[in-house]
Amino acid sequence: MNTMKTAMLLSALTALFMALGFMFGGSGGAIIALVLAAGMNVFTYWNADKIVLRMHNAREVDARTAPDFYAMVERLAVQAGLPMPRVYIVDTPNPNAFATGRNPENAAVAATSGLLEMLDRDEVEAVMAHELGHVRNRDTLIMTMVATIAGAISMIANFGLFFGGGNRNPVAAIAAMVMAPFAAMIVQMAISRTREYGADKAAAEICGKPHALASALQKIAVPAQRVPSIAAERNPAAAQLYIVPTSVSELFSTHPATAKRVNALLAMQPGMTRTTPTGGAPRRSALDPHSRR
């Protein structure tokens, strides 16, 4: 299903490029736009995850630079039956997390420093299990490509408005004005809200702690709305990647109400699968988001 959605998304982008090309350059412009769209489609498919991570200034961590956080993700990946993803931390007070990558073999998961500082260990574990749930459910390809392609549509709109001349070309100005809502429509059509419920359920199965995820969502939902996310402000479509929405994502809303997700999680039985071995509680600083290479 996600493969079909991706193909439809790329087709929509190609059609949009060609329409704008025809508007600004006739049949010759449409041909040029087709070539550009094909190149962007291929580039986006192979590099969308890198674009998203660069967009967030994410820094990769490993067993040396963030040992406990990395070990937590590694343990959860084993429990989920997934290859070990690349692990990132985004240095921002906005409490959030996301997963990216075109498939489980090329996946990456990221948490913000704000999230790691706000939540306790069980809650962080449940959040990262949610992100691995997206990887296991193969949501990440369409989510990642939507974030980059919707941003490209907005860029095209600005480009067309600038070179269309506004007053000199009112058709171009009108086209530019409708591009952002059109991009939002593409996001909402391509991303189903049910994928968040699916990732929540997967998280409960992976870590066996649905109540910890419910607690995490309750803690971060309001701060995520109040604390700015620079990446989402620059590209609002990126907000659909996050575990909870931000203040700039209403137009691009793809999340069900947090209260409904919390209620669904609280209705689940704790310990749905085996929980991770404890072996002694780690210090809170074990998930220090400010550790460096």
Q: Which residues contact 63 (CB under 8 A, 6 or more apart)?
A: 70, 71, 74
Distance (Å, rounded) from C-alpha 187 to C-alpha 226? Answer: 23
Distance (Å, rounded) from C-alpha 282 to C-alpha 13? Answer: 48
Three-state DSSP at 98 gives: strand
Which is catalytic among the residues 60, 74, 117, 131?
A: 131
Contact between 203 and 216 under an 8 Å Cβ cutoff? The reply is no
Distance (Å, rounded) from C-alpha 221 to C-alpha 246? Answer: 8
Q: How far is CA 149 from CA 54, 129, 234, in A?
A: 15, 27, 14
Structure tokens at 44: 């986006």
| Helix runs in the chain, H state only | 2-55, 67-80, 113-118, 121-136, 140-164, 170-190, 194-207, 210-226, 230-234, 258-266
Distance (Å, rounded) from C-alpha 238 to C-alpha 1? Answer: 21
Distance (Å, rounded) from C-alpha 11 to C-alpha 117? Answer: 41
Candidates 97, 58, 111; CA nearest to 287 is: 111
Candidates 23, 13, 15; CA nearest to 175 is: 23
Distance (Å, rounded) from C-alpha 92 to C-alpha 282? Answer: 24
Residue 196 designated active-site: no
Query: Could you list the active site residues?
Result: 131
